[in-house]
Amino acid sequence: MHGPPPNAPAWTNLLPLFAVALVILRNARARRLRIEAMWVAPVIIVALIALALSAEGMPAPLGLALDAAGLVVGAGLGWWRARFTQITVDPLTHELTSRASPLGMLVILAVFAVRFGIRYLAQQNGTTLGVWAIALPDALLVMSVGLVCAGRIEIFIRATRLLNEARAQASLP
């Protein structure tokens, strides 16, 4: 399991929290949404997670089941989080902007807290957990794939629909 060693200074546990805080602050303001580039982040995360998991070899059946469950849970959370993302279309320029909702940002914090808790549990009880100590972090990685991909798909569908509606309104006499 990767992470700071048990005798590491306490501030090393704050680094991931700092990263999550930066993500939340970044998503709190409205940003330009480019639907033509929404596929980039899912492709990158799928490639990185596939590379990380392929280095470990074929997981046990329990690991595969947990990975599948992680993908489903991640997809559900990603879709749910994306439903709360506010998307607006400028009626004149048809430029799209998006802003993550506070509820969507709470999902990020909840996922972080669960992952941190499971990592802590696995570090403390790695020998008694056995295969679970390896399978749970992998499932959380796969969960992030579902979270990002499903969220991007939901935002893409909604943004495309809103953009088509704005273009249709603009073409009316």
Q: Report residue 52 as tokens.
A: 């990380």
Nearest to 80 by CA among 100, 62, 51: 100
- Encode pLDDT of 46-94 as tens digits: 998 888 888 777 877 888 898 999 999 999 999 998 998 999 999 889 9
The single-letter code of the amino acid at 151 is G
162 SS3 class: helix
Within a domain: 76: yes
pTM of the model: 0.76
Q: Report residue 24 as tokens.
A: 């939340």
Within a domain: 151: yes
Low-confidence ranges of the chain (pLDDT < 50): 1-2
The domain of 165 spans 34-171
Within a domain: 111: yes
Count of domains forming the chain = 1
pLDDT at 13: 62
Write out the DSSP string of 28-65.
HS-EE--GGGTTHHHHHHHHHHHHHHHTT-SPPHHHHH
Within a domain: 19: no
pLDDT at 132: 64
Cα separation of 168 and 147, whole Å? 32
